[in-house]
């Protein structure tokens, strides 16, 4: 899965998405995979604050698996 670098985020380095699986790499070196619908991925990528969107719409609703 290809990752897209995220600019100007204090927490997220890059995001990859393919067929319902989204991988998020964080500045602490950890990467997690989440099963999310495409509108969640699109929302994250279009959000002004990726970290706020992640905490509000992903971390509270979808369980990530460390990879």
Structural domains counted in the chain: 1
**For residue 8, what pLDDT is reported?**
86
Confidence band, pLDDT 50/70/90 cuts, at residue 63: very high
Task: Write the pLDDT tens digit of every residue in 3-57.
Answer: 999 988 999 999 999 999 999 999 999 999 999 999 999 999 999 999 999 999 9
DSSP at 36: -
Distance CA 49, CA 12 (A): 10
**For residue 23, what pLDDT is reported?**
98
Distance CA 50, CA 9 (A): 6
Q: Exposure pattern of 32-46 as b/e (b: 16+ CB <10 Å)? A: bbbebeeebbeebee
Q: Which domain holds residue 39?
A: 3-66
CB 43 within 8 A of CB 57: yes
């Amino acid at each position: 899965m290809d990752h897209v670098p995220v600019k100007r985020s204090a927490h997220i380095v890059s995001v990859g998405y393919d067929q319902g699986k989204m991988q998020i790499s964080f500045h602490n070196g950890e990467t997690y995979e989440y099963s999310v619908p495409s509108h969640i991925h699109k929302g994250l990528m279009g959000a002004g604050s990726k970290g706020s969107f992640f905490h509000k719409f992903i971390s509270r609703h979808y369980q990530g698996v460390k990879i």
